[in-house]
Amino acid sequence: MSSAIDSYHVAAKYYDGAYGAMKDLVDAPFYLELSRRSGGPVLEIGCGTGRVLLPIARAGVEIHGVDNSGPMLAILKENLRREPPGVRDRVSLHVGDMRDFRLNRKFPLVTIPFRPMQLMYTVADQLRALTSAAAHLADRGTLAFDVFYPKFDRLHLHIGEEQLEAEWSPPSSPDTIIRRYYRKESVDKIHQTYTLTFIFRSYRNSQLVSEESEPLTMSYYTYPHLQALFLLAGLEPVAEYGSFAKAPLDNASEEMIFLLRPARR
Ligand SMILES: C[S@@+](CC[C@H](N)C(=O)[O-])C[C@H]1O[C@@H](n2cnc3c(N)ncnc32)[C@H](O)[C@@H]1O
């Protein structure tokens, strides 16, 4: 299976609303703290609409964003137009595929926040993505990324069932309510991927006025799988966490978060 190419055609325009409504998504302060400590410039791979990138630029850190989705980058550019010139000047955007882009410069901090690594569906692509990230690391640089820890007990449950995930009103249309639903379609336990459909329904006066949907395939990882990828990519962990509050990575973990550096020879 090839990796997501220029995806998020439908989901891009709902992205900021949906994730803004998910109050348990607490990754941005984690990446902001790392960015501040690095002093910048930072490279964010799979930067999307700038959900994580923009607070970093607002905090005074120079940041480069790479993404291969035209629709996601278009929203980020729209978001940037609303920022003061000082923030805009700190942001550089690049269209690129995380498996093979090269900016020909090195960064003290490279990040892949909120699971773009789960959009790499083969070991070859996963390795290419980590190798590309590592190629942009300065000598003592840090690569930070997160993936979720799969809930194996629930993996094969609720297939074909719609679940409501988020509900919000766009600031430009406060009398509209948008609901994002999620339907798991299938699981491929051999290739460690599952496919889902996002459904976006808009309501006015409780009446459905539009519905759009888009499929997405995600891969999932286990810890030893990631360890093997790090070895192959010439990376070694300097820290690993089970949550963005930096809980230890253990049986209670719902996230796997890594800080890596180029392996010492
Ligand atoms: C879940 S979003 C994360 C966006 C952002 N980092 C955030 O935290 O909100 C995943 C992003 O990865 C991007 N992506 C997927 N495949 C990619 C690829 N092959 N190369 C570059 N970006 C890719 C998508 O376009 C999307 O913007």
Q: What mean pLDDT, rounded, does the chain reach?
A: 96
Chain centre to alpha carbon of residue 87: 21
Distance, in Å, from the CA atom of 83 to the CA atom of 86, rounded to the nearest integer, reads 8
* Helical H segments across the chain, by residue range: 12-20, 28-38, 53-58, 70-81, 85-89, 123-135, 223-233
Instruction: Report the separation in Å between the CA atom of 116 and the middle of ligand 1, taken as the mean of its atom positions.
Output: 5
d(CA 99, CA 111): 14
Atom of ligand 1 nearest to the CA of 7: 25
Per-residue confidence (pLDDT) for residue 103, from 0 to 100: 98
> Tell me, what amino acid is at 146?
D
Q: What separation in Å is there between the alpha carbon of 196 and the centre of ligand 1?
A: 16
Question: How far apart are the C-alpha atoms of 261 and 252, rounded to whole Å?
Answer: 26
The CA distances from residue 110 to 17, 96, 170, in Å, are 26, 15, 32
Burial of 177 by CB count in 10 Å (0-12 exposed, 13-18 middle, 19+ buried)?
Answer: middle
What is the distance between the alpha carbons of residues 259 and 141, in angstroms, rounded to a whole number? Answer: 10
Mutate to test the pocket of ligand 1, among 47, 56, 93, 214 (most ligand atoms within 8 A of CB): 47
195: which 2 tokens?
């496919």
Q: What is the pLDDT of residue 144?
A: 99
170 CA → ligand 1 middle, Å: 22
How far is the centre of ligand 1, averaged over its atoms, from the C-alpha of 129 (Å)? 12
63, 98, 103, 110, best to mutate for ligand 1 pocket (most atoms within 8 Å of CB): 98
Distance 10 CA to ligand 1 centre (A): 14
48 Cα to the center of ligand 1, angstroms = 5
pLDDT at residue 6 is higher than 70 = no
pLDDT digits (tens, 9 = 90+) for 245-261: 999 999 999 999 999 99
pLDDT of residue 7: 80
Per-residue pLDDT reduced to its tens digit, 88-114? 999 999 999 999 999 999 999 999 999
Task: Report DSSP letters for 99-165, one per residue.
Answer: TT---S--EEEEEE-SSGGGG--SHHHHHHHHHHHHHTEEEEEEEEEEEEPP-GGGTTSSBT-EEEE
> Terminal CA-to-CA distance of the chain, rounded, Å?
34
Distance 207 CA to ligand 1 centre (A): 33
Tokens representing residue 261 in the block: 């550096």
| SS3 state of residue 18 | helix
pLDDT digits (tens, 9 = 90+) for 164-195: 999 999 998 999 999 999 999 999 999 999 99
pLDDT attached to residue 119: 97
Task: Name the 3-class secondary structure at 202.
Answer: strand
What is the CB < 6 Å shell around ligand 1?
Answer: 3-4, 7-8, 46-48, 51-52, 67-69, 72, 97-99, 113-116, 119
Return phi, psi of residue 8, to 5°.
65, 35
Q: Residue 58 — pLDDT band, cuts 50, 70, 90?
A: very high
